[in-house]
C-alpha cells in the first residue's frame, strides 16, 4: 500500500490482478510500454486487469486511516469562516509539537539521520526515509491539496499568493487553518507518536472547533 500513488481524492480503491497478454500484438504492446519504466516505479502497465475486491481508501493512510479521512473531509469542505475558527484556535506550540511527532517517526525509519532535528513545521513527506513517506502515507499531501482547493473555491483572490520563488502559498487564515488540520491528521492518524502534551497541543484546534468526535457529517455542520 505504501507505493500506491494518491493523485486524486476522493476516489475508490480496488485490488487488481494483471491479465497476461494473449496475442502477439498484445505482448508487443506491453513490451513497448515497459521499455522506459523504471524498476522502482510505483506503478506498472498492463493491457487489462481483473478487479478482485474493493478496499476502503482509508487503508492508504495507515491503521488509523479512517480518522485521516475525516480530517480530509473537513479540508475539502472548509470555508473562510471555518478557516478563521481553526486558525484562531491553533495552539501556539503546535509547530513544535508537529515537529516532535515527525522526529519520533523518523527515529523509527531506517534512513532517518539526514532529517532528524531540523524542525518540521508543515512537513508533508520524507521520501526514502522508510517504506512510507510519512506517518500517514500520502495523507498530508492530500490534505494540503484539499485545503488549497477549498481556498481557491471559497476564499477569494486573497486566499493565496505567489512567493519570491514563484511557488503558490496560502495566506491567512487558510495557512494557519491548514496547519491546524495537519496537526489533527498527525494526532488522529498516528496516535502512537503524540502521547501526552504533544497530543493535547496537536488536537487543541480540532477539539475546540469540531468537538472530540470526528464524524464527517458533524464536522461539515460545525464548520458551516
Predicted confidence at residue 117, as pLDDT, reads: 59
The string of pLDDT tens digits covering residues 182-224 is 999 999 999 999 999 999 999 999 999 998 645 444 444 444 5
3-state secondary structure of 69: helix
CA distance 162 to 204: 30
The string of pLDDT tens digits covering residues 132-176 is 889 999 999 999 999 999 999 999 889 999 888 888 899 999 999
- Do 2 and 132 form a contact (C-beta atoms < 8 A)? yes
- Report residue 106 as a C-alpha cell: 523518523
The string of pLDDT tens digits covering residues 103-143 is 999 999 887 555 665 667 778 988 888 888 899 999 999 99
CA distances from 113 to 79, 125, 132, 165, 186 (A): 39, 15, 16, 28, 21
- Mean pLDDT across the chain, nearest whole number? 87
Report the pLDDT averaged over residues 74-94. Answer: 97
Amino acid at each position: 500500500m505504501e507505493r500506491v500513488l494518491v493523485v486524486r481524492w476522493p476516489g475508490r480503491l480496488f485490488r487488481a490482478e494483471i491479465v497476461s497478454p494473449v496475442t502477439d500484438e498484445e505482448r508487443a504492446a506491453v513490451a513497448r510500454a515497459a521499455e522506459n519504466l523504471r524498476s522502482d516505479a510505483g506503478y506498472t502497465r498492463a493491457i487489462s486487469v481483473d478487479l478482485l475486491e474493493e478496499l476502503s481508501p482509508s487503508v492508504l493512510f495507515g491503521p488509523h486511516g479512517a480518522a485521516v479521512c475525516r480530517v480530509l473531509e473537513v479540508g475539502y469542505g472548509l470555508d473562510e469562516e471555518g478557516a478563521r475558527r481553526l486558525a484562531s484556535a491553533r495552539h501556539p506550540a503546535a509547530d513544535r509539537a508537529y515537529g516532535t511527532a515527525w522526529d519520533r517517526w523518523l527515529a523509527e525509519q531506517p534512513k532517518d539521520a539526514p532529517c532528524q532535528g531540523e524542525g518540521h513545521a508543515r512537513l508533508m513527506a520524507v521520501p526514502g526515509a522508510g517504506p512510507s513517506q510519512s506517518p500517514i502515507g500520502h495523507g498530508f499531501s492530500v490534505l494540503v491539496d484539499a485545503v488549497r482547493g477549498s481556498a481557491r473555491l471559497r476564499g477569494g483572490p486573497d486566499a493565496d499568493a505567489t512567493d519570491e520563488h514563484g511557488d503558490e502559498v496560502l495566506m491567512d487564515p487558510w495557512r494557519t487553518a491548514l496547519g491546524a488540520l495537519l496537526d489533527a491528521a498527525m494526532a488522529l492518524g498516528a496516535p502512537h507518536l503524540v502521547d501526552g502534551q504533544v497530543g493535547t497541543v496537536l488536537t487543541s484546534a480540532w477539539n475546540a472547533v469540531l468537538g472530540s468526535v470526528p464524524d464527517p457529517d458533524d464536522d461539515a455542520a460545525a464548520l458551516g
